[in-house]
Amino acid sequence: MRLQPEGGRHRPGGAEGGQAHRRRPARRRARLGQRALSAVKKLGAALVTLAVLLVVALAILGRAVHEDARIPPGAAGRHVLVGATPIRYVQAGTGPDVVLVHGSPGSAEDWEPILAWLSPRFRVTAFDRPGHGYSGGAERPHTPSENAAVALDLIRALGLHDAVLVGHSFGGAIALDLAIRRPPEVRSYVLVGAKAYPPVPVEPIYRAVTLPLVGRGLATALTPLMGRSRIDAGVRESFGPNEDAMPAGFVARRAPIWTKPTVIEALSEERVGYGEALAAMAPHYGEIRPPVVIVCGDEDKNHDDAVRLGREIPGARLVILPDTGHYVQFARPDELAALIEGAR
């Protein structure tokens, strides 16, 4: 048996050994911290790379989308150039002029009942606003003021005069802009379910679509999400108590138009800038002098705006329709047509 001499192998102990024992966990913790920091840096770099690739992909996707303003077979109307922008319009009847301006989104089809009611006695013109329906102009600014300028240029290009201008929803803001400016080509205004005052709630997705460089690509990527079920839910909410007045195929006809990337892009820009535009216009409502008729359903979410607007525009006539939602032109076409005719 081998005995270990007292002066043999040293084993740490005492104060010195305790300090070494404490240093080992500290070193392990330091190494773990360094590894975690390295992993975070690598993850950050990967996320930055992914973000850059996503931006590049969306930019490429957006550049691949070309504006298509062609009027498909079976759709009514023709184009007229307003500046360099092809604007699609539908015209029916002869007589005094009535001009119809749709909401956001929308198209000339939104006025079919009124075209049918008024065309026996009036020359009625409905058009697709820039970026909507089968009009060009996706690259134009999409503000009420810019749209008002396009509407006025269209009126002049078609030789219309002494017109009654009717604006529905967002189209009502366009009518208000023109009423403040008082162009001689328009004699009076009818506002239908118009939003006239801020604030205007904006969904985050619409703000994202307005981002520079990636907006159109994002709008293209979102097209499947803006499907028929989402549109159907929004339309039914707008019809409200008048859902039975919704024509057969209403959503089926509009979904392919409303989900075009250029349309999503246009309506997103409109929604984002809507509140600011209304805030700039509202102080001038008291300066409006042409005759104005304000029409709104009592179930329309813009009802309070209509009542307030009726107080602020001198001499305005306010008509609140009972048991009626946002789409007055479908729910009460006969009453709306009579109000438009009376605006002359």
Does 280 have pLDDT greater than 50? yes
Nearest to 337, CA basis, from 120, 187, 169: 120
For the chain, percent of residues with pLDDT exceeding 90: 66
Question: Mean pLDDT score of the chain, rounded to an integer?
Answer: 85
pLDDT at residue 261, as a whole number: 83
Residue 123: how many CB atoms within 10 A of its CB? 18
Model pLDDT, residue 223: 64
Q: Does residue 344 or residue 182 have the better pLDDT? A: 182
In the structure, what pLDDT confidence band is assigned to residue 64 with cuts at 50, 70 and 90?
Answer: very low
Q: Which residue(s) pair with 191 in the sheet?
A: 167, 294
Max mean pLDDT among 17-26, 39-48, 186-195, 204-213 falls in: 186-195
Band (pLDDT 50/70/90 cuts) for residue 229 is confident
From residue 150, give the alpha-carbon distance in Å to each of 24, 155, 220: 77, 9, 26
Residue 227 has pLDDT above 80, yes or no: no
Q: What local confidence, expressed as pLDDT, does residue 220 receive? A: 67
Name the more confident of 25 and 283. Answer: 283
pLDDT in tens, 129-188: 999 999 999 888 999 999 999 999 999 999 999 999 999 999 999 999 999 999 999 999
pLDDT at 57: 44
What is the bridge-based pairing of β-strands 123-127 and 85-92?
A: antiparallel
pLDDT-derived band at 8, boundaries 50, 70, 90: very low
Please compute the mean of the pLDDT values over residues 200-226 and round it to a whole number: 73
Domain borders along the chain are 78-342
Sheet holding 163-168, edge to edge: 78-82, 85-92, 123-127, 97-101, 163-168, 186-192, 292-297, 317-321
Distance, in Å, from the CA atom of 281 to the CA atom of 275, rounded to the nearest integer, reads 10
Backbone angles phi, psi at 108, to 5 degrees: -60, -25
Q: At what angle do helices 170-181 and 261-281 cross, to 10 degrees?
A: 50
pLDDT at 4 > cutoff 70 = no
Banded pLDDT at 49 (limits 50, 70, 90): very low
Q: Side chain identity at 216, as an amino acid letter? A: R
- Residue range 177-204: mean pLDDT, rounded: 97
Whether 343 and 190 have beta carbons less than 8 Å apart is answered as: yes
Annotation: CATH topology of 78-342: Rossmann fold (3.40.50)
Instruction: Please list the residues that pair with 98 across neighbouring strands.
Output: 124, 164
Q: Which two tokens stand for residue 8?
A: 């043999």
Beta-carbon contacts of 243 under 8 Å, excluding residues fewer than 6 positions away, are 236
What's the confidence (pLDDT) of residue 63?
A: 47
- Higher-pLDDT residue of 26, 182: 182
**CA angle in degrees (0–180, nearest 5) for 157-269-340:** 50
Q: Is a pLDDT exceeding 70 seen at residue 225?
A: no
Higher pLDDT, 38 or 304: 304
**Residues present in the chain in total:** 344
Look at 68-72, 168-172, 304-308, 309-313 and tell me which has the smallest mean pLDDT: 68-72
Asked, as a colleague might, if the bond just before 105 is cis with ω within 30 of 0, I would say yes
Determine the pLDDT at residue 129: 98
Among residues 290, 312, 266, 295, which one has the least CA distance to residue 144?
266
pTM of the predicted model as reported, rounded to 2 decimal places: 0.81
How many helices (H) does the chain have, and how many strands (E)? 12, 8
pLDDT of residue 92 exceeding 70, the answer is yes
Q: What confidence score (pLDDT) does residue 58 get?
A: 38
* Cα distance between residue 67 and residue 128, in whole Å: 14
As a whole number of angstroms, the distance between CA 160 and CA 97 comes to: 6
Q: How far apart are the first and last CA of the chain?
A: 125
Q: Are 179 and 290 in contact (CB under 8 A)?
A: yes
Residue 95 is classified by DSSP as: S
Candidates 194, 198, 199; CA nearest to 296 is 194
> In terms of DSSP bridges, do strands 292-297 and 123-127 run parallel, antiparallel, or are they unpaired?
unpaired
Three-state SS for 120? coil
* 283-309 mean pLDDT: 99
Instruction: Identify the residue with better confidence: 5 or 188.
Output: 188
- Per-residue pLDDT, averaged over 45-73, amounts to 53
Residue bearing the bigger pLDDT, 32 or 63: 32
Give, as one character, the DSSP assignment of residue 104: S
What's residue 60's pLDDT?
45
pLDDT given for residue 3 in this prediction:
35
**For residues 211 and 181, what is the distance between their CA atoms, to the nearest angstrom?**
31
pLDDT at 265 over 90: no
